[in-house]
Amino acid sequence: MCYNHDMKNYDIIIVGAGASGCLCALQSSKNNKKILLIDKLKTAGKKLMVTGNGRCNLTNLNIFPSEKYFNQNIDEYIKRYSPSLILEYFKKMGLICYADNENRVYPISNSAKSVIDILNNQLLKYNNITLALDTEFEAVEYINEKYEVKTNKGNFFCEKLVIASGGKTADNVAKKFGIQTKPFTPSLVSLKTQSTRTVENIRINPATIKLKVKGQNIEESGEVLFKDSGISGIVAFNISSFFARAGKFDGIINIDILPNFSEKEIFEILKRRKSLSLPINKMFDGIFLPAVGYLILNICKLDEDRTTDKLSDNEIKLIAKTIKNLTFEVKSCYSNNQVYSGGVLLSSLSKNLESKEQKNLYFCGEVCDVDGKCGGYNLQWAWTSGLIVGDAL
Ligand SMILES: Cc1cc2nc3c(=O)[nH]c(=O)nc-3n(C[C@H](O)[C@H](O)[C@H](O)COP(=O)(O)OP(=O)(O)OC[C@H]3O[C@@H](n4cnc5c(N)ncnc54)[C@H](O)[C@@H]3O)c2cc1C
């Protein structure tokens, strides 16, 4: 249905036609309520286009125990709309999906556009949903048990208001109604460290990043991609969420760039190359690109002009130790974050994600203090929470 400026009064207004807002609208529309779904962009679900490298990794079949994949245990929510129920939901709408060998689920077309198309087709099906695109939410007032929603296209009124705006927009609403939030911090983001320009754009796979958080050892393995001053790739993204949850990007990470070999095995491999009498960096041939070799030698403070036969056992031990333990100081993060950590605390919301402070005000998706790993977890939360709120409206 087209946006009609004369329509001012609604049962429900949903701010944000992203992943959570769309499912919330579809689910609540089943009660024949009059719904206004607003988004500042020109297409509902547009942000999904960039997800999963354009393929939209819409969920992950491996999700329990949820605290392994999210910042906290959200089993009670996920059980209400689990990955298999989400897939069933999308299947009914016409989207066919498959799971890869890491249980990440994608549309069979391998295109995020399929997900956007299916959601938009479905939104059009319901006459009681008015989609107001290119409409930016600006502020809200609560007067006589009604919400007055102020936008750049005029003011609208409703009994129940849902904030599904992702990222930071929710902060002002939460503050206005005295709802407790944790500061929004970029997460699933590349880590900024000392200069890594000499190895920029080099990928190492597998590598293991290690981090100590509150006395606990965290390890993530997979592909690491060096940037000009830092580290990217899924492993770095997942590690970034620990910094985000702590509220600051500041600390030491160690990278094992040969995790499938012990320090002793690496020592033996390198020692066998000693007799070749080659320039020292040639001892990494067949294992690392030369730039990575130079980085290791640099950290070990070993002169590149030496030859392998002049290396002592202790020096080879030091190289092996360094390969297992490259140290980087995380100083901040890049601006390519996929999600925000933080948001409205679940403890300030009911089981149906309604504010305990403010009647008929709901939050779903990324605006809640729920953030997950890479691999479909954040969208799973968006779908789950959107449906839970949709049921409650
Ligand atoms: C590059 C990238 C890749 C990603 N890949 C994946 C992936 O493969 N799998 C996965 O699980 N997660 C992925 N994510 C994360 C995932 O996209 C989010 O977790 C998810 O979209 C959150 O859903 P949401 O409904 O809460 O918010 P969003 O999808 O962000 O939707 C919020 C909507 O609100 C609108 N809005 C915001 N402010 C206003 C306002 N003031 N007025 C009106 N409208 C407003 C926005 O335009 C937007 O359409 C990725 C994120 C990025 C950035």
Digit-coded pLDDT (tens) for 368-381: 999 999 999 999 99
Residue 343 and residue 370 in contact, taking contact as beta carbons nearer than 8 Å: yes
Residue pLDDT, tens place only, 202-226: 999 999 999 988 788 999 999 999 9
**Domain boundary at 336, 356, 371, which?**
336
Let me know whether 176 and 90 are in one domain: yes
Residue 2 backbone dihedrals phi, psi, to 5 degrees: -80, 155
**Residue 360 and residue 346: Cα distance in Å, rounded?**
16
Give the global pTM.
Answer: 0.94
**Domain boundary at 289, 318, 336, which?**
336
**Chain-wide mean pLDDT for the chain?**
95
Q: Is the pLDDT of residue 3 over 50?
A: no
Let me know whether 198 and 182 are in one domain: no
Q: What pLDDT is stored for residue 169 in this prediction?
A: 81
Residue 35 and residue 12 in contact, taking contact as beta carbons nearer than 8 Å: yes
Let me know whether 57 and 162 are in one domain: yes
Domain count of the fold of the chain:
2
Let me know whether 87 and 229 are in one domain: no
- For residue 2, is it within any domain? no
Query: Does the beta carbon of 38 lie inside 6 Å of ligand 1?
Result: yes
- For residue 1, is it within any domain? no
Residue 48 C-alpha to ligand 1 middle, in angstroms?
7
**Residue 388 and residue 91: Cα distance in Å, rounded?**
19
Pocket test for ligand 1, best of 335, 378, 381 (most atoms within 8 A of CB): 378
Q: Which two tokens stand for residue 257?
A: 């760039």
Q: Is the pLDDT of residue 96 over 90?
A: yes
Let me know whether 215 and 135 are in one domain: no
Query: Does the beta carbon of 379 lie inside 6 Å of ligand 1?
Result: yes
Residue 361 and residue 350 in contact, taking contact as beta carbons nearer than 8 Å: no
Query: Does the beta carbon of 55 lie inside 6 Å of ligand 1?
Result: no
**CA of 59, closest atom in ligand 1:** 11
Let me know whether 89 and 132 are in one domain: yes
Q: Is the pLDDT of residue 2 over 90?
A: no
Q: What pLDDT is stored for residue 14 in this prediction?
A: 98
Let me know whether 364 and 330 are in one domain: no
Residue 44 and residue 17 in contact, taking contact as beta carbons nearer than 8 Å: yes
Q: What pLDDT is stored for residue 276 in this prediction?
A: 81
- For residue 214, what are the CA distances in angstroms to 71, 156, 218, 243? 14, 47, 10, 11
Residue nearest to atom 10 of ligand 1 (CA): 376
Q: Range of 299's domain?
A: 189-336
Residue 166 C-alpha to ligand 1 middle, in angstroms?
6
Query: Does the beta carbon of 19 lie inside 6 Å of ligand 1?
Result: yes
